[in-house]
Amino acid sequence: MFMRRCIELAALGIESVSPNPLVGALVVSDGKIVGEGYHMKFGEAHAEVNAIKNVLESNADGPALLKRSTMYVSLEPCSHFGKTPPCADLIINSNIPRIVIGCRDPFPHVNGNGITRLRDAGVEVIEGILENECYTLNKRFFTRIQKQRPYIILKWAQTKDGFFAPENRSQKWITSSNSRQLVHRWRSEEDAVLIGKNTALADNPRLNVREWKGKSPIRIIVDRNLELSSSLNIFDQSQDTIIFNALRTELIGRTKYLELEDFDNLLPQLICYQLYLMDIQSVIVEGGATVLNLFINAGLWDEARVFTGKEEWESGIIAPVLEGKPLHTITVGSDELNTWQNES
């Protein structure tokens, strides 16, 4: 029960902590929560710091209360100096006798060192509580650390008979307003959104979150020969924008042009590695069909979210196809939403 509350708290930071992990923490005494906190923003206080601060500010006997409490935390406390001091040292110096941890932190500067430091100081450590749930919570962070690339989410909409877009590449809505609002929410939760040149031309998208309250993602466009007009919405300077191309590297306002050496081989891998170097932890690939199929054929994706509308077009650009069965199926407005997980 207490670890589930840690996970709930941690999730509140999804729009603001990347590239750090999501972490929630509780201080429990006599079976009651006496303090709680979560990592609220990258570079600021960690969850453990906020939970302990909450105890001290809310209880006159805070220091004495900590000495007879148990701390619950969804991720192993850090043991190194980064933008903030080590949380393991704070727990030790606060004389908290017992800590319950959801899962270990694979970051090389932590990865068991926080647990070792706590145990060496005499703190009782219990680990592996709701471990899978805690791991899933930080799937983006763990993917970046362990695979040296962002967590990749594929997203597209298709008609009931399997078409992605009209053959003339004109803009035509497939999904309901409910689904479009959900997509804007998803964008607020990820670091970046990626599309190809043809999608930019056909839809002239803004790639922001105007139908949801939250941060807009970094826009990423694949435009090999820099053919897109500067009058398009993606060049409006309202968001950081990256243009992967084969011609030049240059920064103009909030638009960064990044030259890739080879567009004909391993393009998705090259893009992902560049984004990893830039600490971009998660990307939604929204199209078009060619770009989506590049990632699918490379096996370079973690999750796919596919809307199926009620219309049948009988012709058009064929939607990408995933093997196997979806993990989840739900109804969103008048649409069906299927979610796949890449297990390979």
**214-254: pLDDT as tens digits:** 999 999 999 999 999 999 999 999 999 999 999 999 999 99
C-alpha span between 163 and 96 (Å, rounded):
58
C-alpha span between 279 and 184 (Å, rounded):
22
Q: Are residues 115 and 162 in the same domain?
A: no
C-alpha span between 197 and 126 (Å, rounded):
51
In this prediction, residue 84 carries a pLDDT of 64
In this prediction, residue 279 carries a pLDDT of 95
Whole-structure pTM value: 0.92
In this prediction, residue 270 carries a pLDDT of 97
The answer to whether residues 164 and 316 touch, using CB atoms and an 8 Å cutoff, is yes
Q: Are residues 282 and 179 in the same domain?
A: yes
According to the annotation, is 199 in a ligand binding site? yes
CA 117 to chain CA centroid, nearest Å: 29
What is the dihedral sign for C-alpha 160, 162, 164, 168? Answer: negative
Set 48, 76, 190, 336: catalytic member: 48
Q: Are residues 202 and 327 in the same domain?
A: yes
The answer to whether residues 100 and 129 touch, using CB atoms and an 8 Å cutoff, is yes
Q: Are residues 258 and 302 in the same domain?
A: yes
According to the annotation, is 173 in a ligand binding site? yes
Domain carrying residue 119:
1-141
**Token pair for 164:** 């992605």
According to the annotation, is 157 in a ligand binding site? yes
In this prediction, residue 113 carries a pLDDT of 87
Which of 272, 279, 316, 261 minimizes the C-alpha distance to 294? 272
According to the annotation, is 103 in a ligand binding site? no
**Token pair for 337:** 């939403």
C-alpha span between 167 and 188 (Å, rounded):
31
Which residues does the chain have with pLDDT short of 50?
Answer: none
Strands 70-75 and 98-103: parallel
Q: Are residues 158 and 266 in the same domain?
A: yes
What is the dihedral sign for C-alpha 277, 282, 284, 289? Answer: positive
Q: Are residues 210 and 299 in the same domain?
A: yes
Cβ-count burial 170-189 (b if 16+ within 10 Å, e if not): eeeebbbeebbbbbbebbbb
Active site residue 311: no
According to the annotation, is 159 in a ligand binding site? no
How many Cβ atoms from other residues are within 10 Å of residue 125's Cβ? 16
In this prediction, residue 94 carries a pLDDT of 95
Please count the structural domains in the chain. 2
- What 3-state class would DSSP assign to 121? coil
**End residue of a domain, out of 78, 109, 141:** 141
**End residue of a domain, out of 125, 141, 157:** 141
According to the annotation, is 203 in a ligand binding site? yes
